[in-house]
Amino acid sequence: MASDFAMGQFRFLKRLLLVHGHWNYQRVGYLVLYNFYRNAVFVLMLFCVFYSVIYTSVPTIVVGVLDKDLSHKTLLKYPKLYGVGHRHEAYNLQLFWITMIDTLWQSLVLFYIPLFTYKESSIDIWSMGSLWTIAVVILVNIHLAMDIRRWVFIIHAAVWGSIIITYACMVVLDSIPIFPNYWTIYHLAKSPTYWLTILLIIIVALLPRFLVKVIHQIFWPSDIQIAREAEILRKVIPNLRS
């Protein structure tokens, strides 16, 4: 809205608006909501555990730059899809508060499931902090993965690589004898309870979001969702015939 563009010919305006304008609006709208969600999860968790958001920054940036909800052919074929930005469908006040409610739910799940699971055990604060750390990194990345529309190699590398790098950093830090959390991850990883707790956190935290998305797409699909399904059908039907 506040940028200057130079074009060699007016025919370039169509693609600039209908394709790149649409892609940019969808990316920025989701990027803003996801950053509110991700940072709010960490802020709420800071009441219990200190953790840096660096591990999850890279996937957010990559998705914000590369994700595409629709192909350029579909956007050029149906110019009315450009109206999604004018109707504020990707970012508005209602979506913001829904995201904050979802964030609160996920934060409570992150905190209380490990707390109740290990309340009768002798686990120390360093072990609990380690569990919270890896659980929140996995959670926010799977949350992001649920919303990605176009998977390419670099997005796979950023999302799943973030989880792998987090684990690797924890292993390295927990292997240094001078640190108070020395050998913590090794003791935790040997227990099935550790892995089941992480799995339970992911399922319980993301289940409401998943159900709402499914119900909304079935009963109140947006123009973008209908266009995406049409794209998928155009690819699937020729394959079925062959």
Residue 241 lies in a domain: no
Query: What is the Cα–Cα distance from 52 to 80, expressed in whole angstroms?
Result: 42
pLDDT mean over 11-30: 86
Residue 21 lies in a domain: yes
Residue 211 lies in a domain: yes
Structural domain tally of the chain? 1
Domain range enclosing 81: 10-218
Q: What is the pLDDT of residues 126-181, one digit of tens each?
A: 788 888 888 988 999 999 999 888 889 999 998 998 899 888 888 887 888 877 77
Residue 163 lies in a domain: yes
Mean pLDDT of the chain: 83
Residue among 3, 57, 4, 1 at smallest CA distance from 31: 57
Task: Please report where in the chains the tokens 């670099």 appear, as a residue.
Answer: 154
Residue 86 lies in a domain: yes
Residue 206 lies in a domain: yes
| 218 vs 49, more confident | 218
> Within 13 Å and on the Cβ side, how many CA atoms surround 71?
10
Q: What is the pLDDT of residues 56-109, one digit of tens each?
A: 677 888 888 888 888 888 888 888 888 888 888 888 899 899 999 999 999 999
Q: Is 17 exposed, middle or buried (0-12, 13-18, 19+ CB in 10 A)?
A: middle
Residue 4 lies in a domain: no
